Amino acid sequence: MTTPVSDEQLLLSMLSGNAEAFAELYDRRHGAIYRYALRMTGSEATAEDITQDVFLELMRDAQNFDETRGPLQAYIFGMARHRVLRRLQTGRNFVSLEEESGDEVMETNFTSASDPFMDFQREEIVGLVRQAVLSLPANFREVIVLCEFQELNYVDAARLIDCPVGTIRSRLNRARGMLVNKLRALQQSEVSSVEMKQA
């Protein structure tokens, strides 16, 4: 049984000009980067831009990576985070997830033969959650995206954000509390809009 090639080995191979190694590294890591950027900015186009930027920089300055400071995955995430924060600071690329891809996503991504109603309901909830997460302040949104969606543990998230673990924990607590309130408000507004349509 062969051991899988590590990210760092792929990077070395990539540095020597191996395009397959680069492709493998991209296939392995781009999904998480893209989704992180998407959940943080709410824009598919921006998320694609950020993903492309990150891998272009990796291509150009891969020799800057220092293995002693952490794994390559964290390094790549750090680059993505830097870009996301820069975009959020400019504020131009903040697009509501609902505006960009509301019904279309529901129609295309969720198909199941088992129970279409349940699937629809689940998708509705997912849409609401994404909308609620996107409306959180950036620092609270970030911990939700990293710890809940990307499933990073507190230590890794703290290292990435460069803050104490306690800060991650407290931000998560507050963010969850905010989500409860926001989801409640979103659900109420949906109910009232349905009632208005029926009336």
Partner 1 sequence: MKCEEFKANLNELVFEKLAATDKREDAMSHAALCADCALLLTETQDVQTALQSTARADIETAHPRVRAALLTAFAQQHAATVTPVVDMATHRRRTRITLAIMSAAAVILMVAVLRPVILKMTSAPTPQVDSVAEKTTAPQPTATVATAVPPTSSFNSKPLPFVSHAKPLPHVAVHESRAVATSIPRQTTSTKHTNEYFPLTYLASATAMESGTVVRVQLSRAALISLGVPLSIDRTERVLNADVIMGDDGVARAIRVVD
Residues of this chain that interact with partner 1 (CB under 8 A) are 14, 17, 19, 22-23, 26-27, 30-31, 34-35, 38-39, 47-48, 51-52, 55-56, 59-60, 109-110, 122-123, 125-126, 128-130, 133, 144, 148-149, 151, 172-173, 176-177, 179-180, 183-184
Q: Which is nearer to partner 1, 3 or 108 (CB)?
A: 108
At closest approach, how far in Å is the CB of 197 from partner 1? 24
Please tell me the total number of residues recorded for the chain in this structure.
199
Residue given tokens 């395009």 in the structure block: 19
State the Cα–Cα distance between residues 149 and 151, nearest whole angstrom.
Answer: 5
Angle at 37 between CA 30 and CA 18, to 5 degrees: 20
Mapping DSSP to helix (H, G, I), strand (E, B) and coil, where does residue 65 land?
coil
Residue 48 beta carbon to partner 1: minimum distance, rounded to whole angstroms:
5
- The count of C-alpha atoms lying within 13 angstroms of the C-alpha of 193, restricted to the half-sphere facing its C-beta, is 6
We find the least distance from the C-beta atom of residue 81 to partner 1, in angstroms, to be: 17
Closest CA to 89 of 51, 128, 40: 40
Kindly tell me which of 74 and 129 has the beta carbon lying closer to partner 1: 129
- The distance of closest approach from Cβ of residue 66 to partner 1 in the complex, given in angstroms and rounded to an integer, is 22
> Cβ closer to partner 1: 39 or 159?
39
The rounded distance, in Å, linking the Cα atoms of 105 and 118 is 16
Among candidates 144, 184, 180, 178, which has minimal Cα distance to 161? Answer: 144
Nearer Cβ to partner 1, position 84 or 172? 172
Q: Please, what is the minimum distance in Å from the beta carbon of residue 59 to partner 1? A: 6
When the beta carbons of 103 and 162 are compared against partner 1, the nearer one is 103
